[in-house]
Amino acid sequence: MTTILIRGASLAGGGTTDLLVEDCAIAERGTGLSRAGARVIEAAGLIALPGLVDLHTHLREPGFEQSETVITGTRAAAAGGFTAVHAMANTSPVQDTAGVVEQVASLGAQFGYATVRPIGAVTVGLEGSRLAEIGAMSRSRAAVRVFSDDGKCVHDALLMRRALEYVATFDGVIAQHAQEPRLTEGAQMNEGALSSTLGLAGWPAVAEEAIIARDVLLADAVGARLHVCHVSTAGSVEVIRWAKGRGIEVTAEVTPHHLLLTEDLIASGDGGVYSSGYDARFKVNPPLRRDEDVRALRAALADGTIDIVATDHAPHPTETKECAWQEASFGMVGLESALPVVQATMVDTGLLDWADVARVLSRVPAEIGRLPGYDAPFEPGSPAHLALVDPAASRVFGIDSLRGKGVNSPFLGRELPGRVVATIHGGVPTVLDGELQPPDEVARA
């Protein structure tokens, strides 16, 4: 195991420090540290963040390896400063048994770029008719604590109540994809004047808001934890704010793309070389909304109504995105661009500081997922999960910025701030000088 000495890093909460990393952990923290033979990283001007944690990643393996694999997805994660990802259950076979979640977790451990925590399905086959093996997955070696049918809504109220009751017995959480299916049949984009102009079936905001309203009441009734995936509307924010005001145990996430992009891009593109109208890189579930929704989401993240940022990293083969809008797949890749977009929308605008970024992209996602090792970053003895970020850097985000299989990023051609200079996962450098380290070196360590 390599000994690493990080010199002069700026802490998110203020001040500078040296960090000595040894045997997978933070060995010392202070100024003027030295260690013979240590690999030295000069970090003056860099911000030391605890390793980022994504609560919403689609790694696609098993079953959809043409889109992503565990190794390619975790390499993308490392490039973005992430040291842990929670892998959604919509694989093939679906992650609805102990055997499948253990397989996914072991693949992450084998490659070493990031910790992979599988998310278990709520229902068998994501079909919404009967509960999956929730208890068995929670007791498995994968120790699943988050359950979701993401991509589909658990729309049956009785089934949702039973799932909430079940996870409450072991402090699990249901992560709901809030989408009332009857209200969104055939929907292609946000419902409004623009959808009518473009001739695309509208996706009403109330389809999201109604499910959230139902589910916070169910969670309250049974005393369970509820997490709301990819909140996208101002109305959803108000429902969640009301529920938190009543003391209901609900948490919520927003994606980077919903913090920046609006439905207008569907009509006109972003004016860059990568985009024109009806560009399916902007097709996502839930859809891009109005500017007033974006403003409400930013304000909600700033005031704590929305707890975390999660990427909803959703890679697809090129042929399923470079096609007619109505036929294209929903989804965007987001691991490599998440931190720059959060810096652009929340830090550079003064809505959050870097300590807040550590909270919404590391500590609280880990808390929600019951992932240990992220509650006391940089304290001696704590696991060495961290990212070093240059906030003064900027770059035009291009295909060469992507490290996974998917290139369906909505940010191609945009100038984004910040650069991940180094990522360290459990004491092992996965990124140095902005470059991924070779797989054999990461796995061997």
* pLDDT tens track for 341-374: 999 999 999 999 999 999 999 999 999 999 999 9
Average pLDDT on 276-304 reads 96
Render the burial of 362-392: b for 16+ CB within 10 Å, e for the rest: bbbbbbbbbbebbeebbeeebbbbbbbbbbe
For residue 272, is pLDDT > 70? Answer: no
Give the H or E element holding residue 390: strand 386-396
Strand 4-11 versus strand 47-50 pairing type:
parallel
- The fourth-level CATH superfamily of domain 51-368 is Metal-dependent hydrolases (3.20.20.140)
Predicted local confidence at residue 50, as pLDDT = 98
Percent of the chain with pLDDT over 90: 95
Predicted local confidence at residue 210, as pLDDT = 98
For residue 379, is pLDDT > 90? Answer: yes
CA 15 from centroid of its chain's CA atoms: 28
For residue 438, is pLDDT > 70? Answer: yes
Compute the mean pLDDT over every residue in the chain, rounded to the nearest whole number.
96
* pLDDT tens track for 38-76: 999 999 999 999 999 999 999 999 999 999 999 999 999
Give the H or E element holding residue 110: helix 98-111
For residue 2, is pLDDT > 90? Answer: no
Predicted local confidence at residue 313, as pLDDT = 98
Residues in the chain: 445
Find out whether the peptide bond into 315 is cis, omega within 30 degrees of 0: no
Where do the CATH 2.30.40.10 domains begin and end in the chain?
A: 4-47+382-444
Half-sphere exposure of 179 (CA within 13 A, CB side): 21
Burial of 303 (0-12, 13-18, 19+ CB in 10 A): exposed
Confidence class for position 268, pLDDT limits 50, 70, 90: confident
Confidence class for position 445, pLDDT limits 50, 70, 90: low
54 tagged catalytic: no
Predicted local confidence at residue 443, as pLDDT = 84
Amino acid in the structure at residue 322 = E
Where do the CATH 3.20.20.140 domains begin and end in the chain?
A: 51-368
* pLDDT tens track for 148-164: 999 999 999 999 999 99
* pLDDT tens track for 164-173: 999 999 999 9
Confidence class for position 28, pLDDT limits 50, 70, 90: very high
Q: Which of 312, 375, 390, 400 is catalytic?
A: 312
Angle at 387 between CA 381 and CA 390, to 5 degrees: 140
Predicted local confidence at residue 275, as pLDDT = 63
Q: pTM score, two decimals?
A: 0.97
Predicted local confidence at residue 115, as pLDDT = 97
In whole angstroms, give the CA distance from residue 233 to residue 17.
40
Other beta carbons less than 10 A from residue 9's beta carbon: 25
Give SS3 for 350: coil
Q: Hey, what are 168's tokens? A: 């409450």
- The reply to whether CATH 2.40.50.100 applies to domain 4-47+382-444 is no
Predicted local confidence at residue 389, as pLDDT = 98
Q: Hey, what are 29's tokens? A: 């923290």
Contact present, 256 and 338 (Cβ < 8 Å)? yes
